[in-house]
Amino acid sequence: MTISRRDFLMAMQAAAIAGLAPKLALAKGGEGLYDAPKFGNARLLHLTDIHAQLSPVYFREPNVNLGIGPNKGKVPHLVGTHFLDHFGVPLDTRRSHAFTYLNYTEAAQEYGKLGGFAHLKTLIDQLREQAGAGNSLLLDGGDLWQGSGTAFWTQGEDMVEASNRLGIDILTAHWEFTYPEEQIRKNLSAFKGEFLAQNVFLSDEAMFMGAESYDEASGRVFKPYTIRELGGKRIAIIGQAFPYTPIANPSYFIPDWRMGIRESEMQELVNDIREKEKVNAVVVLSHNGMDVDLKMASRVTGIDAILGGHTHDAVPQPTEVTNPGGKTLVSNAGTNGKYVAVLDLDIGNNGVRGYEYKLLPVFSDLIKPDPAMTSFIEEVRAPYLDKLGEKLAITDELLYRRGNFNGTMDQVICDAQRKVLDAQISLSPGFRWGTSVLPGDSITMDDVMNATAITYPETYVREMSGADLMLIMEDVADNLFNKDPYYQQGGDMVRVGGMDYTCDPTASMNGRISDMRLDNGERIEANKMYKVAGWATVNSRAPGPPIWDVVADYLRSEKTVRIDKFNTPTLKNVAGNPGIEDYAG
C-alpha cells in the first residue's frame, strides 16, 4: 500500500498533536539518540552537578577513575575502552564521545559542545510531553548554584531563576551550602520547587537557642521528603544532601548545621513513609557520591531507586543492588548539564513492576535552543560580558580537569601560583567541576571562573615542612581511596605543582604516599621547610588575592600556555585496573 504526500503530512500532524513526532533537528550520527518512548506510568527526569553552566560546554571525561578493593573494575570505576565494552557503546560515535575521554579533541571539534539550559529546556519539555501531563518530575541532585562567574557574582540567584524556568520540581544540595545561611534561605524562598534534605540537622546548641528549622522535634533543618502522585500512583521522594559539607567546605557559612550520611535515620524515615504514607514507590535524590549510594543501597531496605550525584559519574545504565528487602537501582547522571537521565517506572499497587532507563547526552548542535531561555541567559550574562570575554592567552593543548590525580587545567592553576606568588610548591584542590578548553582556543576569563569560582577563593603562601606536606597528601588520598565508601568525602587527589611523588592507592592510611621530590629531583625532607602556595582553605580565610586574579595575571604574562612539566604521581599496584588508561606518570 502506498501513502500520498497529503496523507503522510496529515499523519505527521496527528502524531505531533499526540506528542509522538520527533521535534529535535538531528545531524549525522544523531539518529535515535533521543528516542525515549514512554514506558510505565511515571517518568523521573534527573539532572545533577550542573555547576552553574548556563551555556553549552566542553567537558572531558576522566582517563583515571580508580576503583580500589571491592570497587575495582565495578561501575562507576571504568574509563575509556573498558567503559565502552561494559556498556556496549560503539567507539567513534557521539555516545562514545559523550561518555569517555577517547579522541577527545578531534571528537569535540566534530560534535561540538554539550549542555546549555536553552537546549536542556527544549529536550526536557519534549520528554515531559511524551510522559503526559502529571506523569513526570524533574529532579536536580545539587551543585546547581556554583561553578561560574555569574553564579558567584549573583550569589546563585541566576541559577535559581534558571531552575524555575527549566521547571525543576525537587532539589537537594552540596555547593549550595557554600553561601551564607541568609543567602541560602533567600535563594530557596525564590525557588519554585521543593528543597529536600533528610540528613541536615541543627546542632544541639542551635536547637537550644531556637534556630530556624523545619521540624523542632527532630531538629531537621529542611523538609526530608515529599509525596507526589504520578500516573495515579503515590511516590515518595527523599532528599539526601552531601554528608560531608562542613568538612569538605567551610563550616563558617552554616555553623549551626550538622550533616552526615545518617543511614539509621534514612532507614527509619523509609520505614515510616512505607507504613504511614501508603506509597507505591520510594526514590532517594542523593548527593552522596555513587560509591556511597551503592553501599547505602545494600544496607537500607525499602528504596526503589537512588538518583545520585556528587562524583560526576555518567552512567548509561543503573546498577541493581540486592539487599535484604529486595533490589534498589543506583544511578548517577554526570555533570555540567551534559546529560538528562530518564527513569521510567511501571508502578502497580504493590510496588515497582519494571523500569527503563536512559542517560541522554545533550548535544547542542542537535537540539534547537528554547528562545525564551536563550534570552534569559543573554540577560544574565550581559552585565559581565566584557569581563568574561577577556582573552587572556592561547592554549597549546587541551585543558581539562577531571581525573584522580591531575588535569592540565589544574596544572595551569598550580603553575600560576608558583610563578605569581613566588613559591617552590603549589597545591590546588581536587575539584571535579570545571570546563575544558580545546587546543588553539583562547582561554577567557569565563574559562578561568569556570575552574575557580567559589566563595572562599583566597590564596596563601606559607612555610610548610616536608612532614606537613606528607600529612596533607596522605589525608586527601585516604578520602579518595579508602576501601569503605562511607569514609570517602568526594573530590579527587590534591593537585600539586613543583613536586612529584609516588602513590599506592591500594595501601592504607600513611602508606600511600612516598618519594616526594621537587621538580629538580631533590628529595623533600620531613624536617625541612618549603615555600608553598595554595587556595580554598576550609577552616579560615586566607590573606591573599582570589585565585582567579592570580591565574589571570599568569595567563596575561604568558600569552601562550604550554605545560612543560605535568606533575602526576608514579603509581603502584594499579596495573590491569580498568579505571585507568593512557596514563603518563
Residue 464 φ/ψ, nearest 5 degrees: -130, 145
Residue 492 φ/ψ, nearest 5 degrees: -105, -175
Q: Does 114-375 match 388-571 in CATH topology? A: no
The dihedral over CA atoms of 263, 539, 546, 384, expressed in degrees to the nearest 10, equals 40
Predicted confidence (pLDDT) at residue 489 exceeds the cutoff of 70:
yes
pTM: 0.94
For residue 23, the model assigns a pLDDT of 53
Strand order in the sheet with 233-240: 225-230, 233-240, 281-286, 305-308, 326-332, 319-323
Rounded to an integer, the average pLDDT of 409-426 is 98
Pick from 49, 561, 37, 96: nearest CA to 286: 49
Calculate the average pLDDT of the chain: 94
Lowest mean pLDDT among 4-13, 88-97, 177-186, 397-406: 4-13
Q: Tens digit of pLDDT for each residue in 144-182?
A: 999 999 999 999 999 999 999 999 999 999 999 999 999
Q: Tens digit of pLDDT for each residue in 14-29?
A: 343 333 334 554 555 5
For residue 157, the model assigns a pLDDT of 98
Which distant-in-sequence residues (6+ apart) come within 8 Å of 107 by Cβ? 92, 96, 97
Separation in Å, CA 127 to CA 102, 165, 341: 29, 16, 10
Predicted confidence (pLDDT) at residue 557 exceeds the cutoff of 70:
yes
CA dist 78 and 156 (Å) reads 33
Whether residue 454 contacts residue 534, with contact meaning beta carbons closer than 8 Å, is answered with no
Q: Tens digit of pLDDT for each residue in 324-361?
A: 999 999 999 999 999 999 999 999 999 999 999 999 99
Rounded to an integer, the average pLDDT of 445-469 is 98
Whether residue 300 contacts residue 269, with contact meaning beta carbons closer than 8 Å, is answered with no
% pLDDT > 70, the chain: 95
For residue 28, the model assigns a pLDDT of 54
Distance of CA 257 to the CA centre of its chain: 23
Helix, strand or coil for residue 153? Answer: helix
Helix, strand or coil for residue 65? Answer: coil
Angle between helices 371-381 and 157-166 (to 10 degrees): 180
Predicted confidence (pLDDT) at residue 567 exceeds the cutoff of 90:
yes
For residue 532, the model assigns a pLDDT of 98
Q: Which CATH number fits domain 114-375: 2.130.10.10, 3.40.980.10, 3.40.50.300, 3.60.21.10?
A: 3.60.21.10
Domain boundaries 388-571, corresponding CATH code: 3.90.780.10
Q: Tell me the domain boundaries of the chain.
A: 114-375, 388-571
The dihedral over CA atoms of 195, 374, 316, 302, expressed in degrees to the nearest 10, equals 20
Separation in Å, CA 132 to CA 28, 34, 37, 128: 29, 17, 11, 7
Q: Tens digit of pLDDT for each residue in 227-281?
A: 999 999 999 999 999 999 999 999 999 999 999 999 999 999 999 999 999 999 9
